[in-house]
């Protein structure tokens, strides 16, 4: 197979995404918006899993944390969306920082476990803290400012945001800082002996990655006008991780493809049966057995 230049692929994808609203009806437009939102989540997971070599299982919780925070601020307290976003980002940053301080000194399975437990705590709090989170019913309410109510305009808003943020993430991972993270993935002790403060690097990396996951969550809240404990649950983290893995760990933009595959599949399966979580689990098992480095990675190698 002849190799298509990467820039060409990117411009093609961007062009398709920019023109898509002209031909899609509102349902598919919503789906496409959702894919963009989840791509951001998948990429934020990949920053940790692919570049820092620490597979996290808490990004769904950070995602949900952002969504809950903005919903609570705007819909429950009646604040302005801009301040809601600032509040949510601040909260996500704080939570990420706490998680990072606790988790980054561990690696491998222990890191996975810790982030899983930490993420579950967020879920537990969202489920039980009924007076703030609305318990099982979640929070509901339109929080989009008037100028974003039109689905097409909202799509372009998300499109521009996520393109910009993806570029920012790309610059982040290819910066000297990102390369240091890669170095830590390869050998933490070597980086330490070279004089790098690996804990600090991992903490900052984790916080950045968490912020992006939180941003995705904020966009999700804007899109759906609804957030419930299931948006914070483990399944969400699993979904984010699976998107990153399917797209290819360490490829960053692979997450977009992973998100597209999972979201489309989710909608397809959900329209036929209620057994989506079975399919998601099965897909996870299948991926881990046959293509742990990513389905797309497999194709690329050939």
Partner 1 sequence: MNLTIFQLLNGLTFAALLFIVASGFTLIFGLMRIVNLAHGAFYLLGGYLAYWLATWSGSFWIGILGAAFLIASVGWIEQKILRLVKGVELHQVLLSLGLALMINDASLVAFGGDTLSVPIPDILKGPMPVFGMLYPKYRLFVFCAGVFVFIALWLIIQRTKLGALIRAGVDDAETIEALGIDIKKIFIFTFMLGMALAGIAGALGGAFLTLYPTADSEILVYSLAVVIIGGRGSLVGAAIGSFAVAMLATFGQVWFPELSYFVIFGPMALLLAFKPTGLYGKA
Query: Are the CB atoms for 61 and 120 separated by under 8 Å?
Result: yes
- Binding letters toward partner 1, positions 206-245, x by CB under 8 A: ---------------------------xxx--x--x---x
- Which one of 130, 137, 175, 192 is in contact with partner 1 (CB under 8 A)? 130
For the CA atoms of 25, 227, 287, 212, what is the dihedral angle to 10 degrees? Answer: 90
Binding of partner 1 at residue 298 (CB under 8 A)?
no
Element (H, E) at 226: strand 226-227
Choose the stretch contacting partner 1; rule: CB under 8 A; options: 87-95, 102-110, 139-147, 218-226: 102-110
Query: Are the CB atoms for 116 and 236 separated by under 8 Å?
Result: no
Choose between 117 and 149: whose C-beta lies nearer to partner 1.
117
How far, in Å, CA of 237 to CA of 273, rounded? 22
Binding of partner 1 at residue 257 (CB under 8 A)?
no
- Which one of 114, 139, 181, 259 is in contact with partner 1 (CB under 8 A)? 114
- Which one of 28, 129, 164, 299 is in contact with partner 1 (CB under 8 A)? 129
Choose between 42 and 158: whose C-beta lies nearer to partner 1.
42
Please identify which residue in the block is written with the tokens 């959900």: 270
φ, ψ for residue 140, nearest 5 deg: -135, 150
The runs of H, that is alpha helices, within 23-150 are 26-46, 59-71, 81-103, 108-128, 130-133
How far, in Å, CA of 251 to CA of 42, rounded? 11
CB of 104 to partner 1, least distance (A): 10
Query: Are the CB atoms for 232 and 121 separated by under 8 Å?
Result: no
**For binding to partner 1 (CB under 8 A), which residues are involved?**
55, 57, 98, 101-102, 105-106, 108-110, 112-114, 116-118, 120-121, 123-125, 127-131, 233-235, 238, 241, 245, 275, 277-278, 280-289, 292
């Amino acid at each position: 197979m002849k190799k298509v230049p990467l820039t060409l692929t990117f411009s093609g994808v961007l062009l398709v995404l920019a023109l898509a609203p002209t031909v899609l009806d509102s349902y598919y437009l919503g789906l496409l918006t959702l894919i963009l939102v989840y791509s951001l989540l998948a990429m934020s997971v990949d920053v940790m899993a692919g570049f820092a070599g620490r597979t996290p299982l808490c990004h769904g919780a950070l995602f949900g944390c952002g969504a809950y925070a903005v919903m609570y601020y705007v819909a429950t307290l009646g604040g302005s969306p801009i301040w809601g976003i600032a509040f949510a980002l601040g909260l996500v940053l704080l939570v990420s920082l706490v998680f990072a301080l606790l988790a980054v000194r561990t690696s491998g399975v222990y890191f996975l476990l810790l982030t899983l437990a930490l993420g579950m705590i967020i879920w537990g709090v969202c489920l039980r803290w009924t007076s703030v989170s609305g318990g099982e019913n979640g929070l509901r309410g339109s929080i989009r400012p008037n100028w974003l109510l039109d689905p097409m305009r909202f799509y372009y808003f998300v499109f521009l945001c996520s393109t910009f943020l993806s570029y920012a993430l790309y610059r982040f991972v290819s910066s000297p800082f990102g390369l240091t993270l890669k170095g830590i993935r390869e050998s933490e002790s070597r980086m330490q002996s070279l004089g790098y403060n690996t804990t600090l690097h991992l903490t900052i990396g984790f916080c950045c990655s968490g912020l992006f996951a939180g941003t995705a969550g904020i966009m999700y809240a804007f899109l759906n006008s609804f957030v419930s404990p299931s948006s914070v649950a483990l399944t969400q983290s699993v979904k984010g991780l699976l998107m990153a893995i399917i797209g290819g760990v360490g490829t960053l933009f692979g997450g977009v493809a992973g998100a597209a595959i999972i979201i489309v599949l989710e909608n397809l399966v959900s329209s036929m049966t209620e057994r989506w979580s079975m399919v998601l689990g099965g897909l996870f098992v299948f991926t881990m057995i046959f293509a742990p480095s990513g389905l797309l990675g497999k194709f690329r190698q050939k």
